[in-house]
Each structure stands twice: as C-alpha cells, then as structure tokens.
Amino acid sequence: MKKLGRVFLVGAGPGDPELLTMKAVRMLGLAQVVVYDRLVSDEVLSLVPSAARRIAVGKAPKSHPVPQERINDILVELGQQGLCVVRLKGGDPSIFGRGSEEAAALHAAGIPVEIAPGITAAQGVAAATGVPLTHRGLATGVRYVTGHCRRDLPLDLDWAGLADPDTTLVVYMGVANIAEIATSLIAHGMPAALPVMAVCNATTPKEVRLLSQLDRIAAEAKAARLEGPVLFVIGEVVSLYRSCPAEVLSLFPAELADVSQGPFNWLRASANA
C-alpha cells in the first residue's frame, strides 16, 4: 500500500513575512507542493522552496474559480499521492479561513493534518497602526465578524449584539457591504460618531489607512477606492491612533526598512534549508 502523505495548514499572516511563526517557516521548507490563497503575499511566497510545485486556488469577491469543495479534493488527492503538502492561507487558517473544513475533509480521508497558526489580520493591523484591540476604559472585549456571507447571500448578523460601544468590532471582508454594516449598527444603537479605521493591504509596503467615523465610513471608503483586502476596526480604541513620524522610522537600521534584505534572509535560508 502506498504511504499517505501529510498536509500542513499554515497561516501566512497578513502579509509581512516577519510575522510568520518559526513553525510555519519550518513547514514551508518541507513542502513538495504548496496550495495557496490569493491573499498570501509575494514576500511570503518567496519563501517556498524552488523545487516545490505551486497550485493557486485563490478566491476573490464574487469570483470563486476553484470552489471550496474542489480545494478539499485537491488536498486529499495530493495527500493520497504520498506528498508533503502545505496549504498556505492568509492570516490564520482557523479565523474565516475555512481551514477547519479542509482539515475535516483530510481527516475523513485518513490523511494526517497539522496546523501552524498565523497572525490574523486584526492583530497585524493593531501592531502596524498602534491601535489596540482592547484598552482599559475604552473596550472590554473584541469581536471578529465577517462582512460577507457564503455564496454572497445577504448578511444575517446579530446587529443588536454587535452594536456594543464597549466592544471593539473588527470586520473582515466587509468593503462591499460596509454601508449596510454601518447603517445596521447605528440603527441598533451604536453612536454615529464612533471612530472607525479602515486598513487596506495591512502590514505590506502597499498598506493604506483611512480614519473616519461610523456614519461616514461607507462614503469615504468608496471615495478612497481601496484596492486589496480591507479590514475595518470600529470602536473607541481607534481614537488612540497615532501615525508614526518619519523621524522615528529613521532610527531603525537601514536593513529593517528593506523588505528584500536584512531580517528576511534568515527566513529564506530556513525555508530552503
């Protein structure tokens, strides 16, 4: 009987390769095949061993060229061929990443699965912008919600439960529905002037930040024409935002500002060892 392979579900984080865990780098270095999403950054993909086969299965809003059921089948088929497979997913596989569905399909086929968690976009945004997700006196909790439903069905969220001004609300994949989200939250009691921050392409060189408030975020996000994945942070914690002065960045060694050198060299060396 042919030996089964194994599949690693690896969180690629929000984009910055320095946010990868050491476990994720080790698993990438073992890959014979990498099945990756659209939101995995080029910098992270550069760590894939040169001999590994790459299979793109990324989805975009209202465009799912490779359905989730087919992705599950691809992973099972590769595992049954005895290969070491890395399923590389943006952010964390277990947070709006459908990693649990893929793991269930692999378990059902008897294929070993191991998960390397990743920094989810909300944590990446908090670190990059200095806006905490919780803060004493401003937010006693944080909630993550998805801004779109499977197969683009209408949103069916617990608006009354989400409209809590003492909780930071983080909306993933919500740029297409942010007008409905903001209107519904205000209708259920969330202050219209509540601060909101939208971050596009977080933790990458293309990162764009937009500061607004709940009753204006939809119009201002549309006017900004944000291109790329957008995360919305809604809550009083956004009032703590402070942009990083250029003179502060200049205090860091030059190699830390160059994504093609310095700290990424050890990642590439580790992945290809």
Please pick, among 16, 27, 37, 197, the residue that the annotation labels catalytic. Answer: 37
**Cα(first)–Cα(last) distance of the chain, in Å?**
30
Q: Is 166 one of the annotated active-site residues of the chain? A: no
The three state secondary structure string of 79-146 is HHCCCEEEEEECECCCCCCCHHHHHHHHHHCCCCEEEECCCCHHHHHHHHHCCCCCECCCECEEEEEE
Tell me if residue 267 falls in helix, strand or coil.
helix
Read off the amino acid at residue 17: P
Could you tell me the two tokens for 50? Answer: 């040169």
Decide: residue 243, CB within 10 A, 0-12 exposed, 13-18 middle, 19+ buried: exposed
Please pick, among 16, 27, 92, 173, the residue that the annotation labels catalytic. Answer: 173
Please pick, among 23, 59, 73, 215, the residue that the annotation labels catalytic. Answer: 59
Q: Is 37 one of the annotated active-site residues of the chain? A: yes
> Contact at 8 Å (CB) between 172 and 121?
yes
> Contact at 8 Å (CB) between 122 and 170?
yes
Q: Which residues are catalytic?
A: 37, 59, 173
